[in-house]
Amino acid sequence: MTILDGKKLSHKIRENVKLEVQKLQKNNITPGLAVILVGSDPASAAYVNMKSKACKEAGIYSMVHEMPESISQENILEIIEMMNNNSNIDGILVQLPLPKHVDTTAILEAINPNKDVDGFHPYNVGRVVAGLDGFIPATPYGVMKLLEEYDINPKGKNVCIVGASNIVGKPMATLMLNANATVEICHIFTDDLKKHTLNADIICVGVGIVNLIKDDMVKDDVIIIDIGINRLESGKLTGDVDFNAVSQKCSYITPVPGGVGPMTIAMLLENTVTSAKNRPIVKG
């Protein structure tokens, strides 16, 4: 059994991002990332702080627009429009989830697709589905980079995606399909999850249920990508896979923490630098 070390790979990617930022700065371009945080959810605030810290370490300029839970949708849209028109901002991301009175789809569609470094705009979703260049959501993108690092080729493999969210499950399935895997997607309405996972060469799971995937649900030498993140009462972080039991059967597995999580931020930084490289040239 081999641990897929996302922490180690993310460090390598972030060092490369730092070098790319330095090259851009020689051309008087400093990549810029704007984050919109609505409300005071502790987990969201923690994620935003991690992203801001990572930007600072890479030399990326970042700003956080903190807004009260009660803010109107119109006010959020005004901030996004301002960021769309700010030539120093290359990436705009809205920390999800948003309050219930806000239409998440309308907010995400308001972001300029060229600054949609989270890859959630329908324009980028469509391009990725079509196998064209577009911003890829950071978590699935990070998973594919991790597989590549360990010379794991999904081509021809049976891949089971557990979870069908727009943020992880659906784009993960798309990337696996683009890599010529045979893909199954399981979700809350799947009648017999075990029936599907037992047939899988690669299982990607991210639904937020502790120990959802147990050792009797996987075949020998399976590759496990645990995208789930759960905090136990003890404060310990754990994934969606019964790590101790399943790791005895698999060939590769991601730990939680230290697997997919660090890759998510690394790929967000990489997307931001990619956007900066594509900045429109303003002719004086």
What residues are labeled active site?
51, 95, 118
Closest to 263 measured CA to CA, from 61, 17, 9: 9
Q: How far apart are CA 25 and CA 19, in angstroms?
A: 10
Token representation of residue 67: 């807004």
3-class state of residue 124 by DSSP: helix
Instruction: Give the residue carrying structure tokens 């230290």.
Output: 258
Q: From CA 49, how far away is CA 265, in angstroms rounded?
A: 11
C-alpha–C-alpha distance, residues 204 and 200, integer Å: 10
Tokens for 111?
Answer: 């972001």
